[in-house]
């Protein structure tokens, strides 16, 4: 059911092809977006893009010449004001002029069939069609090839967009026996996001979903994604991601881990609480998995007929990342895993398709230990490290300090976009079985990642 990833050599070739054909060319990137200037260059170029879209609205130009002249003025003004380094002038011009503005052409995403390398060209719509070498897609929502390459890998699937469904949300309370202290009940007020009919409203800002919306069964049965929160965290800690996954056709389940939640602070961080939670957490996750599968078989449940028990993924943040390793080791229904900024032990490893995600300035967990767990894990596997990101890149929470210290580190929105850049495609390919998203799992065209893949 799963697509076998391409070799590391082909992935490297893909990165070269993207760099040569996309809006950010190799020679332009040689002095811009590298070294100690990388983060500031990225922010300056993003600000320039915003300024250009304001001063030179794409839809207002009937001819390409006036558009390019307008963009040039914006770039020159940024250079004069010191808002853009001179080394980035060429990069900026290529990014802004590789656009459909001022003509009747389209941004055409191209994926090379031989190796999944990707690129984009501004071309006539009649030329944006498949041939023996390329799968070509007209990216109707994109005006700039930079977006087609950076955020869709030539596929036109933009990871920043919500999916075809609205994210529905339900809170269901389950009660189970304690694994650490048998006979003591554990109350799991569990958050569940699921595909709801498009247009469902209103979306609650606290949950990211539409409360008790009906489930849209048209695309079911849906794969299951289990999420385990961090130590002293809570089920809603990563709503930048979990409702978005539901909008793309996943049922997402996030229970609390009583004794190790934010409401248990400060005792949640004690050695005793951590030791107990290491035992309780895997059982919590398996229990809620059993409950949602049972709900899918219950004609009286809103999830009746909508749950695919053969496609289950496990993910989690920090202690939830360690929980991901623990659950995958005992639960054969888990077929894919994404530990994020995980705590790890000398025995942590995965035998299923996996993607380890790290912030490369994480001061909370031991990244070296996590990389060792990656080395022990079976293939196919990916290691994606986000540069200038700390421990809380995978959460909506941000505790001021070395791990969340903008502008030295990424802001939460900057981090979240880069997390989604890989999480959604990984689940689409390895859980949903949709190989059309596979090019997005190759090396990134944009800076900001340290990337490794082993097939």
Whole-number Å distance between alpha carbons of 417 and 97: 24
Per-residue pLDDT band for 55 (boundaries 50, 70, 90) equals very high
Answer whether residue 165 shows pLDDT above 80. yes
Which residue has better confidence, 399 or 64? Answer: 64
pLDDT at 5 (0 to 100): 40
Q: What is the mean pLDDT of residues 317-332?
A: 98
Whole-number Å distance between alpha carbons of 258 and 234: 9
Using one digit for the tens of pLDDT, what is the confidence trace for 9-45? 344 343 333 333 333 333 334 589 988 899 999 999 9
pLDDT at 256 (0 to 100): 98
Using one digit for the tens of pLDDT, what is the confidence trace for 422-452? 999 999 999 999 999 999 999 999 999 999 9
Domain boundaries, the chain: 24-97, 166-454
**How much is the pTM?**
0.91
Total count of residues recorded for the chain: 455
Indicate the average pLDDT of the chain.
93
pLDDT at 7 (0 to 100): 41
Answer whether residue 241 shows pLDDT above 60. yes
3-state SS record for the chain: CCCCCCCHHHHHHHHHHHHHHCCCCHHHHCCCCCHHHHHHHHHHHHHHHHHHHHHCCHHHCCCHHHHHHHHHHHHHHHHHHCCCCHHHHHHHHHHHHCECCCCCCEEEEEEECCCCCEEEEEECHHHCCCCCCEEEEECCCCCEHHHHHHHHCCCCCCCCCCCCCEEEEEEEEEEEECCCCCCCEEEEEEEEEEEECCCCCCCCCCCCCEECCCCCHHHCCEEEEEEECCCCECCCCCCCCHHHHHHCCCEEEECCCCCCEHHHCCHHHCHHHHHHHHHHHHHHHHHHHHHHHHHHCCCCCCCCCCEEEEEEEEEEECHHHHHHHHHHHHCCCEEEEEEECCCCCCCCCCCCCEEEEEECCCCCCCHHHHHHHHHHCCCCEEEEEECCCCHHHHCCCCCCECCECCCCCCCHHHHHHHHHHHHHHHHHHHCCCCHHHHHHHCCCCCCCEEEEEEC
Using one digit for the tens of pLDDT, what is the confidence trace for 262-303? 999 999 999 999 999 999 999 999 999 999 999 999 999 999
Q: Which residue has the tokens 């697509």?
A: 3
Contact 393, 419 (CB under 8 A): yes
pLDDT at 182 (0 to 100): 95
Answer whether residue 226 shows pLDDT above 60. yes
pLDDT at 399 (0 to 100): 87
Asked: is 166-454 a CATH 3.30.1300.30 domain? The reply is no
Using one digit for the tens of pLDDT, what is the confidence trace for 362-388? 999 999 999 999 999 999 999 999 999
| CA-to-CA dists, residue 56 to 59, 69, 93, 94, 120, angstroms | 9, 9, 14, 16, 22
Whole-number Å distance between alpha carbons of 27 and 50: 24
- The torsion angle over the Cα atoms of residues 8, 12, 13 and 16, rounded to 10 degrees, is 170
pLDDT at 31 (0 to 100): 85
């Amino acid at each position: 059911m799963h697509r076998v990833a391409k070799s590391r050599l082909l992935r490297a070739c893909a990165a070269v092809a993207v760099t040569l054909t996309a809006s950010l060319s190799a020679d332009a990137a040689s002095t811009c977006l590298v070294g100690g200037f990388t983060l500031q260059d990225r922010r300056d170029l993003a600000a320039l893009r915003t300024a250009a879209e304001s001063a030179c609205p794409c839809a207002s130009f009937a001819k390409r010449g006036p558009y390019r002249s307008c963009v040039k003025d914006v770039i020159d003004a940024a250079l004069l004001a010191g808002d853009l380094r001179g080394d980035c002038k060429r990069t900026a011009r290529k990014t802004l002029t590789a656009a459909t503005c001022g003509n009747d052409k389209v941004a055409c995403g191209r994926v090379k069939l031989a190796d999944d390398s990707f690129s984009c060209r501004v071309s006539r719509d009649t030329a944006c069609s498949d041939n023996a070498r390329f799968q070509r897609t007209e990216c109707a929502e994109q005006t700039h090839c930079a977006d087609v390459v950076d955020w869709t890998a030539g596929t036109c699937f933009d990871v920043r967009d919500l999916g075809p469904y609205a994210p529905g949300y339900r809170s269901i309370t389950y009660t189970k026996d304690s694994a650490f202290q048998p006979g003591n009940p554990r109350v799991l007020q569990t958050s569940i996001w699921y595909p709801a009919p498009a247009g469902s409203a209103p979306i609650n800002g606290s949950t990211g979903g539409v409360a008790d919306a009906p489930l849209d069964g048209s695309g079911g049965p849906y794969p299951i994604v289990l999420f385990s929160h961090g130590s002293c965290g809570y089920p809603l800690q990563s709503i930048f991601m979990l409702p978005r996954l539901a909008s793309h056709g996943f049922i997402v389940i996030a229970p609390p881990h009583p004794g190790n939640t934010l409401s248990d602070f400060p005792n949640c961080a004690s050695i005793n609480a951590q030791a107990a939670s290491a035992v309780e957490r895997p059982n919590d996750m398996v229990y809620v998995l059993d409950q949602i599968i049972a709900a899918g078989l219950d004609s009286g449940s809103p999830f009746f007929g909508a749950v695919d028990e053969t496609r289950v993924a496990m993910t989690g943040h920090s202690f939830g990342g360690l929980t991901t390793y623990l659950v995958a080791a005992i639960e054969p229904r888990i077929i894919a895993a994404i530990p994020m900024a995980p705590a790890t032990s000398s025995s942590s490893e995965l035998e299923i398709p996996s993607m380890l995600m790290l912030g490369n300035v994480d001061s909370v967990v031991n990244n070296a230990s996590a990389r060792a767990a990656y080395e022990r894990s079976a293939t196919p596997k990916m290691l994606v490290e986000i540069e200038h990101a700390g421990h809380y890149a995978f959460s909506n929470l941000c505790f001021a300090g070395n791990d969340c210290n903008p502008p030295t580190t990424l802001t939460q929105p900057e981090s979240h976009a880069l997390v989604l850049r890989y999480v959604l495609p990984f689940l689409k390919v390895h859980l949903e079985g949709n190989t059309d998203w596979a090019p997005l799992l190759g090396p990134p065209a944009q800076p900001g990642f340290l990337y490794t893949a082993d097939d």
